[in-house]
Amino acid sequence: MQQIYLDHNATTPVDKEVLEAMLPLFRDAFGNPSSAHARGRAARVCLDQAREQVAALIGAHPVEITFTSGGTESDNLAITGTARALKNKGNHIITSRVEHPAVLNTCEELRKEGFDIGYVPVDSHGRIDCSALADLITDETTLITLQHGNSEVGTLQPIEKIGELARARGVLFHTDAVQTVSKIAVDTQILPVDLLSLSAHKMYGPKGVGALYIRRGTPPLSPLISGGGQEKKRRGGTENVPGIVGLGKAAEIAQSRLESDQSRVSELRNDLRRQIESRIPGARFYGHPEFCLPNTLYLGFDGVEGQTLMIHLDLSGIFVSTGTACSSGSILPSEVLGAMAVPESEMVQTIRISLGRGNQTEDMTRVSDALEKAVLEIRSKTGFSAGAVPK
């Protein structure tokens, strides 16, 4: 059975060229970039090249790129590093309830340290209310941290507006762009952001490596990991050279195919949505209809539990994710949907389909066939009548 992977917002397969670029770093080119001899210098050259590749993808200067262990660490460094460094200036940080746990839990830890965390509300599509944001900023606010694209429903935030607002009020702005870098254009020369997180495994690179963009002129962050002075003392520890080289190569490939990937994947996504709408009654779609990641479809079907649907699809070799998380044996509804005021009865009925480079036009028909079959089967078992579909 041909498998269809539709969970690219969770992670992506490593591109063959990325793997090829990484392999020599495990073999002969194993030097420590801090060593002064030829092997060390060769590793340093690899790091420098990767820094240039990542910088080029987001319109940055290489000195503005700090390598980390991934999106989670980049978010932690940006938020905690800024909050602690600017503690004397103020103790107020603004975020939202639709952020990734890497941001939400970092803010929660800061709250325990005595910081005051403000949450800006979102509308029913999960989009930030900019006038509410303006009202939340106080003289104590040092940082606004709001994501660029939502990993679950795909909604894009108005980060140009948010950044302008932050600048006008003298507040630093961090955006978690883990889901947008490589999917849509992200240019730090245009976007008014001071700090930006990205992660390799969301862009056909390896897991466990990412970067934080820190605009030149941003006050020094308090490092989270002290050590031998690597990454300009922003992040101690011998660099993950193979991973960083993989990130660099992934960034170079993403830059060269950005526009073609974006239009191809959004066409597939739109085609799939049309097929679902025309074939399966009682389908609901979430996220912003216009400002949305090109690859993401977040949807639910009346009378069909998301977990059950995901298992049915899994058995057909189609891999999607659900809007609920399993924790200690209980099913927890998504916080993102909660912030969007989606009723709890709907929350448990959702799945996320996130497309990527490997998906083909013909896959979309197989996916809508499998969805239709699974939805009908589940509804017939639970006695749900499609004729009684609420609008």
Ligand X SMILES: Cc1ncc(COP(=O)(O)O)c(C=O)c1O
Which residues lie below 8 Å from residue 281, measured CB to CB, with a gap of 6+? 386, 389
- Whole-number Å distance between alpha carbons of 86 and 89: 5
Nearer to ligand X, 203 or 283 (CB): 203
Within 8 A by CB and 6+ apart from 23, the residues are none
**Which of 322, 320, 309, 323 has its CA nearest to residue 363?**
320
Catalytic pick among 107, 130, 292, 326: 326
Minimum separation from the CB atom of position 75 to ligand X (A): 6
In the complex, least distance from residue 102 CB atom to ligand X, rounded to whole angstroms? 4
Q: How far is the CB of 333 from ligand X (least distance, A)?
A: 18
326 is an active site residue = yes
Strands 210-214 and 116-120: unpaired
The residue (of 144 and 375) whose beta carbon lies closer to ligand X is 144
> How far is it, in rounded angstroms, from Cα 112 to Cα 126?
27
348, 331 in Cβ contact below 8 A?
yes
Q: Are strands 116-120 and 172-176 parallel, antiparallel or unpaired?
A: unpaired
Phi-psi region of 152 (alpha: psi -120 to 50; beta: other; left: phi over 0): alpha
How near is the Cβ of 169 to ligand X at its closest, in Å? 25
Rank residues 210 and 333 by Cβ distance to ligand X and give the closer one: 210
Q: Are 173 and 144 spatial neighbours (Cβ–Cβ below 8 Å)?
A: yes
Two tokens, residue 188: 């730090």
Q: Which positions touch ligand X (CB under 6 A)?
A: 70-72, 75, 100, 102, 147, 151, 176, 178-179, 199, 201, 210
How many other C-beta atoms can be found within 10 angstroms of the C-beta atom of residue 350?
Answer: 28
Nearer to ligand X, 70 or 282 (CB): 70
Alpha-carbon separation of residue 192 from 72, 211, 253, 287 (angstroms): 22, 18, 25, 24
Closer to ligand X by CB, 81 or 210: give it.
210
Q: What is the rounded CA–CA span in Å between residue 322 and residue 308?
A: 9
Compute the least distance from the CB of residue 211 to ligand X, in Å.
10
Residue identified by tokens 């073999």 is 27
Q: Is 176 or 194 the residue whose CB approaches ligand X more closely?
A: 176
Question: Which residue's Cβ lies closest to ligand X?
Answer: 71
Kindly state the smallest distance separating residue 68's Cβ from ligand X, in Å: 9
Q: Which residues are catalytic?
A: 326
